[in-house]
Amino acid sequence: MVASIAVDQITDQLGLEEYGSIRSDSFPPVASFTDGMVQDTVRVYGGTDPDIMTLQSDVPIPENAFGDLSQCVLEELVDDFSRAIFLAGAPAQSEEQQGDVIGVATTETLKADLEDAEIELAEDSGAVGGVTGALINACYQADVPAALLLVRADPRLPDPAAAQSVIETALEPLVEFDIDTTELREQAEEIQRQKQQVAQQLQQTQEQQEEPVRGMFR
């Protein structure tokens, strides 16, 4: 959910307008709607101040649609942008690790940009699957500069704090605009309060279950 949370925040805050939609018979037959109107499930938003485009999907993209989506992006959109930046979340192994970001690039120039922005580069070998991996691979094969910003996030819950981290520590240093992440911080604080409440309720329930039973029966 990290990428969705971050991109939604960017799209809304920059006031980007719908640029177009991507359709495929391979996409799930789902009706998406907003403000009382049905819309395409996979959409592209754009703006000129700053000059940016975002790609959003309301449904998980099935594997058999990866090719259609990648082909559309390369054939219909690639001439409109100079580089692509993909956001993705990976399960954090501990709370201390949540919010850590590493970067991967498809070109040496973009790799240097990541280093100049003081974004830690992935040191170990690895692979990125899913639709994000398919799009990055398509960009790489087509010599389109692309970067992946991978943030460690809570594996159990939506993590607006991780979205805030990837925006502030990695995305903003690579672009020429700033994003107000106050709303994401407030969402993260609310989720943290809810987690603490659940933990307290579970502790109280456990203590009650451990209390000895006393009674008299006649």
Please name each of the domains of the chain with its CATH number.
2-182 (3.40.50.10900)
How far apart, in whole angstroms, are the C-alpha atoms of residue 141 and residue 66? Answer: 15
Question: What confidence tens digit (pLDDT) does each residue in 164-213 have?
Answer: 999 999 999 999 889 898 888 887 777 667 666 665 666 666 655 555 65
Segments in the chain below pLDDT 50: none
Tabulate helix, strand, coil % of the chain (nearest 5): 45, 20, 35
CA distances (Å), 75 to each of 78, 83, 84, 139, in order?
6, 14, 14, 11
Which pTM was predicted?
0.82
How far apart, in whole angstroms, are the C-alpha atoms of residue 9 and residue 56? Answer: 11
How far apart, in whole angstroms, are the C-alpha atoms of residue 84 and residue 146? Answer: 5
